[in-house]
Amino acid sequence: MHRKNPREKLERYNPTDETEKADKVKMLDFLNLHEDCFDRSLSVGHFTGSCWLVNRDGTKFLLTLHKKDGRWLQLGGHADGDSDLARVSLKEAHEESGLRNIELLSGEIFDIGIHLIPEYKGIPAHYHYDVRFLIKTTDNDEDIQISDESNDLKWFEDVSALPPNSGVNLSRMFEKWRKIKS
């Protein structure tokens, strides 16, 4: 499994807070320790790719009301052996939103986070080492379709509209996006 590209991207990534700094160290250690770190069969955890998906004029961001988790989250999912996490994030964004016309705004990492996934239907609790990329729509923003993994999809203009259990990562990504677009 090829780990050079993700390692280089993680090494270049500049964390914006203490949580991300700690997560970056843990991600690099995990990457170096587990050759199969991009495969969901690694039961202790695995890398995932997700995105901060904005509409074409940059005024809204798309989130999914995750079916298993019950929270509003960024779009993303398992790498399934693919070490190109930017490609994974694009694939997952397309699959979970139905949007066909989307593109990476940068191949560099936008945000990172490590989170515990509780046991679910016999799959033991494990960690997702989530690497996030910035993606935008290039065409019809309203042509979204809810996938099997979601209870809802919705464009938001501000994180203040989100329920309180949505998590610090969404607020951090929103602030990063706000700084980029201003």
The amino acid present at 139, given as its one-letter code, is D
pLDDT, position 1 = 45
Domain boundaries defined on the chain: 4-181
Q: CA–CA separation, 59 vs 109, rounded Å?
A: 21
The β-bridge partners of 116 are: 127
pLDDT, position 105 = 96
Count Cα atoms within 13 angstroms, Cβ side, for 81: 1
DSSP state string for 20-71: HHHHHHHHHHHHHH-TTTTSTT-TTEEEEEEEEEE-TTSS-EEEEEETTT-S
Q: CA–CA separation, 10 vs 133, rounded Å?
A: 12
CATH class of 4-181: alpha beta
Per-residue pLDDT of the chain (182 residues; tens, 9 = 90+): 478 899 999 999 999 999 999 999 999 999 999 999 999 999 999 999 999 999 999 999 999 998 888 889 999 999 999 999 999 999 999 999 999 999 999 999 999 999 999 998 899 999 999 999 999 999 877 789 999 989 999 999 999 888 877 877 999 999 999 999 88
Assign 3-state DSSP to the chain and report helix, strand, coil percentages, each to 5: 30, 30, 40
Q: CA–CA separation, 83 vs 160, rounded Å?
A: 34
pLDDT, position 165 = 75
